[in-house]
Structure 1
Amino acid sequence: MNNEKPKITAAQRRLLFGAVFLMATSSIGPAFLTQTAVFTEQFLASFAFAILASIIIDIGAQLNIWRVLSVSGKRGQDVANDVLPGLGNVVAFMIVLGGFAFNIGNVAGAGLGFNAIFGWDVRIGAALTGIIAIVVFLVKNGRAVMDVITQSLGVLMILITAYVMIQSNPPYAEAALRSIAPENPLSLVVPVITLVGGTVGGYITFAGAHRLIEAGMTGRENLNFVSKAANYGILTTGLMRIILFLAVLGVVAQGFALDPENPPASVFQIALGDIGMQIFGIVLVAAALSSVIGSAYTSASFLRSMHKFFDEHNNTVIVAFIVVSTVIFTFVGRPVALLILAGAFNGLILPLTLGAVLIASRRKKVVGDYHHPTWMIVFGVIAVIITIVAGVMSLQGLADLWTS
């Protein structure tokens, strides 16, 4: 009996890393950079514990979603509809609204990046970002181009940030110690919840899964491949988070204070000198452009099963998604209320979708005779509880703003 695992072909390897980096770069946006810098300055080396804890929870959440969707061969909204008719439509609406609003923020972030590099007006940079993202989906073999671009931008961000980390010379030993023995661990509950929501919340965790389904990587025979992609996606995001954390830690450990107006930019400027702002602009453009691509692709994928028009004209929907979000920022500016509302929705999407996936994992009409591992379900339940807390916190923040 031949027990050798089938070798991964060149096309499958490209797809694997395409799905990995689509998911990873979707989560590494302007908010990711700012969030990591702020938390690191606040909690110092102990923030390493929050990063490690969030990575473990993220892996559990993503493995559940990617494996069940792959076995069923259905996208997230379709699985949710199988669990409770109409639930998938609610999820799709929330995903699209949240993705659309966050895309405006991503476009704005890219505009700020071009401003830092070339001194351009922010709206010019935002418009250029929208044009680049649109071209990706209009060219022949656009999905392959998308895979290459997200991989290239992801690697670029990691390498540049790693260089900043080396230059800032952080206390590596202390960070390693605090990753398992933090000071005041209860104070890290909110950062853990925030990181989980930012890494696998909203549309992000579905980005790579839907890419694999579109490419036909479904069924039990592809579970090992899918699991590997799910783990690599979280670990890639975690690697970027760790490198950025260490870069920030190196700066604040030397006694420098970050600029509250732009915390991550000040890290690059302190570590690299005058050219640091331009280098940060490159990272910000890479983070924002890849997030624009991932947000548009994944949000549009949630509409594909709602009407045949969305499925037959998927690229048109994606382009329209990018055009509208770019135009709103370019001519109107950032709609703060919409972004805050989307943030509240984002905190509620994962518990809904992951909860539906966990229920679906035990329904034969969805997964057939596939037996979903119990330990994965346990991890999934923990992630559901954490993201419910995050959703309540988001809604509370929205209510406070509304009444203020």
Structure 2
Amino acid sequence: MTDASQAATAEQTPGEKAKSFAKRRRGPIIGAIFLMATSAIGPGFITQTATFTATMGAAFAFAILVSVLIDFAVQMNVWRMVVVSGKRAGDLANQAVPYAGHLLAVLIVIGGLAFNVGNIAGGGLGLNALLGIDPKIGGLITGLLAIGIFLFKKAGPIVDAVVLILGIGMIALTVIVAIMAAPPIGEALRQTILPDEIDFATITTIVGGTVGGYITYAGAHRYLDSGNVGPENVKSVHRASVNGILVTGIMRYVLFLAILGVVASGVTLDLSSQAANPAGQAFGAVLGEAGLRIFGAIFWAAAISSVIGAAYTSATFLSTFSKRIFSGWGLQLATVAFIAVSLVVYLLMGTAPAAILVFVGGFNGLILPIGLAIFMYIGWFRAKDVLGGYRYPKWLLVLGTLATLLSLYMGVTSIGPIFAFLGIGA
């Protein structure tokens, strides 16, 4: 802080100082919420919601409810521990259990790679809906552009602004479709609580797609970077995590209602062809050709921003192995390599892009409970020394432990069905 700014601060009244402090904190809080929400509302989330609504109908509402509850338990614990300790997830895990941070980093990198293959597939689907080109070519264009945007720093703010505008457009478009499609809201509300069908593989996939892999830590690390750390920031981080979950939960349910209205009207969505884009078909059924093209542009923007975000956040976990190598240019090269490998894997796969997008959510749902178990161990047994003597609330640990056990059970029972999305197993 300069001498002039210090003098100006000293001249402020107590009320003005409080307002200035609140303003400085508001930016990181909003940034953390936005990062969490945009990470969770990507092409995978959109395609998973459309696919499962098409196959399960109103019963999918129960899966959404359970996923939101698990998200709540996961994010509340992870955000709090990271902020109270002032350490990134990998470093915190290593302090509690030797090499646990390395294990967590490996899981995040593997899960992030799976996510990014799906994000590139989503870019291919988006350009297919927008321009009618082959999804493979669309994926190639998306991957190469993502590398270019990441390396060209001046493009970052422009991309952020475009993604923000298109993100707002996606929300508005979804609300319009939900209203015009006239979904059976009463039936949806009933099955939110009393479903006709419960599918653990579906719940695991949705949970993995919205809070699995790097998404669990993205918002918490953004908050950590603001410098607002320590027990004194618990209330604000609690509020930020709850608001982030509410934003994603509401958006998830509105999209579900939009797709449900289309399915309930008798429209059959293609889920199996190479160019299948169930969400795009639903939007096109309500808004026509123009709606499909607009959806394609928004879907593509969500995909390319997710490619960059997932690659960069996942690559930062490599610093757990070597902070000297994976920083500065080393981190940039790792991120570019991450995107390049994801692109090559996608181009070599013969699976339909929509199926890839569904699978990567399920895969990250399978590895989610391993990372959660590390954090629950910290909360129950290492809170006093690892969290600096912070008295961790037992009710939050109970919720987190229940979510971990439920995620583990669902994951074990869902391995076959999840890999079946790629045509592997039963």
Same fold (TM over 0.5): yes
Spell out, residue by residue over 1:317-357, the C-alpha distance to the aligned partner (whole angstroms, 9 max, x if none): 22332233234435x35689999996675234321221211
> Does 2:284 align with 1:272?
no
Q: Counterpart in 2 of 1:310? A: 326
Separation in 1, partners of 2:361, 2:270: 24
1:145–1:357 Cα change, 3 Å: farther
> Does 2:377 align with 1:359?
yes
> Does 2:341 align with 1:324?
yes
Separation in 1, partners of 2:131, 2:358: 30
| Contact map agreement 1:80 1:356 (CA 8 A) in 2 | yes
Deviation of the 1:177 alpha carbon: 3.7
| Contact map agreement 1:18 1:147 (CA 8 A) in 2 | no
Separation in 2, partners of 1:315, 1:145: 19
Separation in 1, partners of 2:160, 2:228: 15
TM-score with structure 1 length normalisation? 0.86
The one-letter code matched in structure 2 to 1:322 is I
In the TM superposition, what are the counterparts of 1:110-125 in structure 2 within 5 Å?
A: 110-125=123-138
| Contact map agreement 1:197 1:387 (CA 8 A) in 2 | no
The one-letter code matched in structure 2 to 1:321 is F
The one-letter code matched in structure 1 to 2:239 is K
Separation in 2, partners of 1:142, 1:208: 22
The one-letter code matched in structure 2 to 1:382 is L
Spell out, residue by residue over 1:171-214, the C-alpha distance to the aligned partner (whole angstroms, 9 max, x if none): 3333334333x243x62544333322222122211111122223
Which of 267, 291, 297 in structure 2 is aligned with 1:282?
A: 297
Which structure 2 segments of 5+ residues have no match?
Answer: 1-13
The one-letter code matched in structure 1 to 2:403 is A
Separation in 1, partners of 2:418, 2:258: 32
Which of 225, 238, 242 in structure 1 is aligned with 2:249?
A: 238
Separation in 1, partners of 2:180, 2:106: 44
Q: Counterpart in 1 of 2:365? A: 347
Q: Counterpart in 1 of 2:262? A: 251
| Contact map agreement 1:217 1:226 (CA 8 A) in 2 | no
Which of 384, 388, 407 in structure 2 is aligned with 1:387?
A: 407
> Does 2:28 align with 1:15?
yes
TM-score with structure 2 length normalisation? 0.82
Q: Secondary structure of 2:318's match?
A: coil
Moved more, 140-149 or 312-321: 140-149
Q: Secondary structure of 2:392's match?
A: coil
Separation in 2, partners of 1:242, 1:142: 33
Q: Secondary structure of 1:44's match?
A: helix
Moved more, 140-149 or 346-355: 140-149
Q: Counterpart in 1 of 2:8? A: none
Deviation of the 1:66 alpha carbon: 0.7
Q: How many pairs does the alignment contain?
A: 400
Deviation of the 1:247 alpha carbon: 0.5
Moved more, 22-31 or 354-363: 22-31
Moved more, 344-353 or 241-250: 344-353
Deviation of the 1:54 alpha carbon: 1.9
Which structure 1 segments of 5+ residues have no match?
Answer: none
Deviation of the 1:92 alpha carbon: 0.9
Give the number of the structure whose alpha-carbon radius of gyration is greater: 2
| Contact map agreement 2:54 2:263 (CA 8 A) in 1 | yes
User: RMSD value over aligned CA atoms?
Assistant: 3.2
| Contact map agreement 2:262 2:285 (CA 8 A) in 1 | yes
The one-letter code matched in structure 1 to 2:295 is F
In the TM superposition, what are the counterparts of 1:168-207 in structure 2 within 5 Å?
A: 168-180=181-193, 182-184=194-196, 187-207=198-218
Q: Counterpart in 1 of 2:179? A: 166
Separation in 1, partners of 2:230, 2:15: 19
> Does 2:390 align with 1:370?
yes
> Does 2:240 align with 1:224?
no
Deviation of the 1:396 alpha carbon: 3.7
| Contact map agreement 2:118 2:360 (CA 8 A) in 1 | no
| Contact map agreement 2:200 2:414 (CA 8 A) in 1 | no
Identity of aligned residues (%): 46
The one-letter code matched in structure 2 to 1:179 is T
1:16–1:377 Cα change, 3 Å: same
Spell out, residue by residue over 1:67-111, the C-alpha distance to the aligned partner (whole angstroms, 9 max, x if none): 101111122222222232122212211211221132122112102
Spell out, residue by residue over 1:22-66, the C-alpha distance to the aligned partner (whole angstroms, 9 max, x if none): 222223333322221232233333332332232122111111001
Separation in 1, partners of 2:28, 2:114: 28
Separation in 1, partners of 2:195, 2:94: 44
1:399–1:253 Cα change, 3 Å: closer
